[in-house]
């Protein structure tokens, strides 16, 4: 599963590649060397109000819109781990069914972290593009609107999940589940809110191929990254 990521270059989500026209990120948007579920992670998606393609920092643990208040959202977030969605079952899973139909996004990072080895002696590997550029993982998003806020959506809670499926041959040495990586020529279809047939969405994702062995590399890094609360540049130093 994809449960750790990096965003060393938060400004490296290039507008001309990902097509976003506006950004909604916090003022303290900064590099992340050990990004965990329930942290803020960048997502490119079609804004449901404006129809624009936007880049937005979202909470990495999808909270369904059926949560009618911030308190209900917090309770769900504490009780359920929804930072990954299984490609095989997302279309019918209660938390993911609606997003699978019309609320899909690109979760953009510049690395993910997996571990290899025996228990107690595992080595973390930083899986990234060979050119060190950002890449897109298939994602789903949702937002919770507190009903007490009326029509004011300024404080809506946006959240997301990463879609995972069986690994290809290259990735299988690092984990038995792999984020569904999207090439740029797949962005338009994946983001299209008019594509609402869940069977077609699943088929589209199953048929996609990303040249993982050619595009990606895995670099051993410091075990400092084992501590989810430690987020400094030396997490990514080769031992």
Higher-pLDDT residue of 150, 127: 127
Cross-strand bridge partners of residue 137: 107, 181
- In the chain, the number of structural domains is 1
At residue 219's C-alpha, the angle toward residues 214 and 224, to 5°, is: 150
Rounded CA-CA distance 58/39 in Å is 8
Nearest to 111 by CA among 132, 96, 80: 132
pLDDT tens per residue across span 194-233: 999 999 999 999 999 899 999 999 999 999 999 999 999 9
* Residue-number span of the structural domain to which 190 is assigned: 5-236
Percent helix, percent strand, percent coil in the chain, to nearest 5: 25, 30, 45
* CATH label of the domain that carries residue 81: 3.90.1680.10
What's the pTM value of the predicted model, to 2 decimals?
0.96
Res. 1: pLDDT tops 80: no
pLDDT tens per residue across span 74-125: 999 999 999 999 999 999 999 999 999 999 999 999 999 999 988 878 999 9
Phi, psi of 137 (to 5 degrees): -105, 140
Write the DSSP symbol of residue 171. G
Q: How many residues does the chain have?
A: 239
């Amino acid at each position: 599963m994809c449960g750790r990521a990096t965003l060393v270059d938060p400004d490296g989500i290039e507008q001309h590649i990902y097509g976003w026209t506006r950004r909604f990120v916090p003022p303290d948007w900064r590099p992340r060397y050990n990004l965990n579920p329930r942290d803020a992670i960048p997502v490119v998606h079609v804004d449901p109000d404006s129809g624009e393609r936007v880049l937005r920092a979202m909470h990495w643990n999808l909270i369904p819109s059926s949560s009618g208040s911030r308190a209900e959202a917090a309770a769900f977030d504490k009780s359920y781990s929804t930072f990954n969605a299984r490609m095989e079952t997302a279309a019918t899973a209660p938390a993911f069914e609606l997003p699978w139909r019309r609320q899909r996004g690109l979760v953009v990072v510049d690395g993910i972290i997996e571990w290899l080895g025996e228990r107690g002696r595992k080595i973390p590997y930083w899986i990234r593009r060979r050119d060190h550029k950002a890449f897109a993982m298939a994602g789903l998003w949702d937002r919770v609107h507190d009903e007490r806020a009326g029509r004011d959506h300024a404080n809506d809670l946006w959240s997301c999940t990463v879609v995972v499926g069986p690994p290809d041959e290259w990735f299988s040495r690092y984990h038995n589940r792999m984020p569904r990586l999207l090439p740029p020529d797949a962005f338009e279809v994946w983001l299209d809110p008019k594509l609402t047939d869940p069977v077609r969405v699943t088929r589209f994702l199953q048929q996609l191929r990303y040249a993982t062995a050619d595009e990606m590399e895995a670099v051993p890094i410091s075990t400092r990254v084992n501590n989810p609360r430690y987020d400094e540049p030396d997490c990514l130093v080769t031992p």
